[in-house]
Amino acid sequence: MFISIIVILIKFMIAEPSTERRHGIQYKWVALSNTTIGTLMASINSTIILISLPPIFKGIDLNPLATDSFAYLLWILMGYNIITATLLVTFGRLSDMYGRTRLFNLGFVIFTIGSILLYLTPGKGSTGAIELILFRLFQGAGAAFLFSNSAAILTDAFPVNERGKALGLNQVAFLAGSFIGLILGGILAVINWRYVFLVSVPVGAFGSIWSILKLKDNSRKKGVQRIDYVGNTLFSGGLTLVLIGVTYGLMPYGSSVMGWNSPWVIAAFSSGGAMLIAFPFVEARITNPMFDLSLFRIRAFTFGNFASFLSAIGRGGVMLMLIILLQGIWLPLHGYSYASTPFWAGVYMVPMTVGFIVMGPISGALSDRYGARFLATMGMVISALAFLVLSIIPYNFTYLEFGASLFVLGIGSGMFAAPNTAAIMNSVPMDERGVASGMRSTLANTGQTISLGIFFTIVILGLAALLPSHISASMASVGVPQGIISVFSGLPPTGSLFAAFLGEDPVKSVLITLPPALLGNYTSTSWYSAITASGWFPTTIAPAFMPSLRLTFYAGAILSAVAAVLSALRGKRYVHEDRETTPGASKSGASIGDGSHNLNSQVPMPDGEGKAAQDGITIGTGSANGQK
């Protein structure tokens, strides 16, 4: 795939731009290559941080077991997604008003500047962590420009009968980037943690130049529009408060292991929820709303988006939970040092990427011919079955069964993603594609953040209930003195788990902090050797961790099953196209649907789209809410 992209780039870098190229068969590949670079770069950076946190924390001299380190960890992990999710719809509407490629180009520039700032992070300790968080938020704003416009640009550039294939390739790049980030982060962080951020700079600079030179705006604007300040404030502000509430709900508060009862968290949810509830009522009364609520009258748009939202909640936190399983339990049990587990966890997650890469383009191409409903629905059914299989695998599994389950989960995700995205983008009018793409991405990113909140809550509560007793019993069985047992039993559950996630030996990290008077001369005793052995911590934490992990898999299966039902309810294939794209047609709105709609006329489709029409798609008069 990457060799093909390079060939396409070289071919068009030396070509002279012309009107024919912009609108002919060649321009669509320019658009695909450009949006794929942006999507790949942004998705790599969404996960590269997962594997790179251990050397990053060491590089800025931050102790992973310190009280405030968990808060920094959560913000570094989730801040990027929060800022991206809250800005996507706003940027999508701005792109409909001012041009998609213009804002897409701006996204490349902002993202590149953010990468440079992250590379140059000057601070140490808490100051360095705060700087990293702020620079990640800035970088996330650039990613929001890229994500909100990629699907819309591809939908503008490709004819109806090729959009599924194009969006499939683009989404393969997105998921492939997510897993490339895991491996690349492990490799670069070993050399220098700053290289994790520097790697995006040349890619971002090249993408910026490439998009400015070659990418053209094929969108059509409604005319003079005004920015909906009230709607933007309500939606972005409300969503930001809700997602910040999720983040702080995961942090300890007072004597509680989590912060869901914190007055700040309750206030964030209450005020954010009130703003989101007010949003549709305000939008219905505004002349130029931020988001055209009538789009939700389109069945393909509504059911496709909510299926994507539930799918994102179901699988969004799974990657992190599986990485914790590998780093904290399975890899140490199989002889890997804690320092090496971040890299190898990324390697052992590759089968999921392979499954998605195999199925993504195939399902996208098939959806061009047969529609999205069957493929997307079966994708979610397969994902639900894969979650159920993962729920019965023991913690000391054989890798073949684990890798096969990940591969099947990747197959299911790939079968769902491209057809579902194509169906959503095909269903909306041309001048609404930017905001529609933004809403689609917002729901997906919000679902992923909510997923992390739900899955973290399940795991942390489970560990808080079970881990102290398991540690006490295991230590007592090898003769550990009661004073040291009390220290370990009193540690917050997040401390030991995330020490392993950050590549630290949890037991040794605690023992070196004990005062000499308490530790005494125990380093030569048999119990000291027993609890510092590579297999002691994994076998101790596993009985407390696995019930919670299985519960997250059950939740993923249920959510995937509900997403499958919603996908099946999307109706038959529906494609909205503007009549002015049809030879001899008037400029009034029109829809492409199937025979289930009240269609008053049929006309041939241009630019090779007749094939799609022969496969059961017809064009008729309609509006943005043509499928109800």
d(CA 136, CA 121): 11
**Which letter, b or e, does each residue of 280-295 get, where b requires 16 or more Cβ atoms within 10 Å of its Cβ?**
eebbeeeeebbbbeeb
On whether residue 458 sits in a domain, the answer given is yes
Burial class (CB in 10 A: 0-12, 13-18, 19+), 602: exposed
Evaluate whether 210 touches 34 at the Cβ level (below 8 Å): yes
On whether residue 628 sits in a domain, the answer given is no
Q: What CA–CA distances, in Å, run from 392 to 385, 427, 537, 554, 588? A: 11, 40, 22, 10, 56
% of the chain exceeding 90 in pLDDT:
17
> Which domain CATH number covers 458?
1.20.1250.20
Q: What was the pLDDT predicted at 3? A: 36
Q: What was the pLDDT predicted at 65? A: 63
Evaluate whether 6 touches 29 at the Cβ level (below 8 Å): no
The reply to whether the predicted model has a pTM over 0.85 is no
DSSP state of 621: E
Q: What was the pLDDT predicted at 594? A: 35
Residues 535 and 604 in one domain: no
On whether residue 404 sits in a domain, the answer given is yes
pLDDT band at 51; cut points 50, 70, 90: confident
Q: Which of 14-23, 197-206, 336-345, 482-491 has the highest mean pLDDT?
A: 197-206
Residues 354 and 467 in one domain: no
Q: Which of 5-9, 45-49, 316-320, 456-460 has the highest mean pLDDT?
A: 456-460
What domain range includes position 340?
2-218+288-462+543-568
Residues 316 and 427 in one domain: yes
Domain count for the chain: 4
Residues 159 and 186 in one domain: yes
Answer positive or negative: Cα dihedral of 628, 297, 99, 177.
negative
Q: What was the pLDDT predicted at 503? A: 67
Q: What single letter denotes the amino acid at residue 459?
A: V
Q: Which of 61-70, 438-447, 548-557 has the highest mean pLDDT?
A: 548-557
d(CA 256, CA 330): 29
Q: What was the pLDDT predicted at 82? A: 80
Residues 524 and 606 in one domain: no
Query: Residue holding tokens 């599924």?
Result: 164
d(CA 121, CA 11): 37
Q: Output the six-digit token pair for 194.
A: 């700053």
d(CA 505, CA 297): 54
pLDDT band at 134; cut points 50, 70, 90: very high
Residues 176 and 235 in one domain: no
Q: What was the pLDDT predicted at 69? A: 74
pLDDT band at 67; cut points 50, 70, 90: low
Answer positive or negative: Cα dihedral of 241, 62, 191, 118.
positive
Tell which phi-psi region holds residue 228, choosing left (phi > 0), alpha (psi between -120 and 50) or beta. Answer: beta
d(CA 317, CA 543): 20
For residue 1, is pLDDT > 60? no
d(CA 63, CA 60): 9
Residues 343 and 370 in one domain: yes
Residues 613 and 590 in one domain: yes
Q: What is the per-residue pLDDT across 492-512, written as a single tens digit (0 to 9) for each?
A: 766 666 666 666 777 877 777
Length of the chain: 628
Residues 16 and 143 in one domain: yes
Residues 473 and 557 in one domain: no
% of the chain exceeding 70 in pLDDT:
83
Q: What is the per-residue pLDDT across 585-627, written as a single tens digit (0 to 9) for each?
A: 333 333 333 333 333 333 333 333 334 333 334 333 334 444 4
Q: What is the per-residue pLDDT across 177-207, written as a single tens digit (0 to 9) for each?
A: 877 787 788 788 778 889 988 888 888 888 8
For residue 224, is pLDDT > 90? no
d(CA 271, CA 278): 11
d(CA 246, CA 266): 10
Instruction: Report CA Rg, the chain.
Output: 25
On whether residue 278 sits in a domain, the answer given is yes
Q: What is the per-residue pLDDT across 92-132, written as a single tens digit (0 to 9) for each?
A: 878 877 788 888 888 889 999 999 999 999 988 889 989 99
Q: What was the pLDDT predicted at 187? A: 80
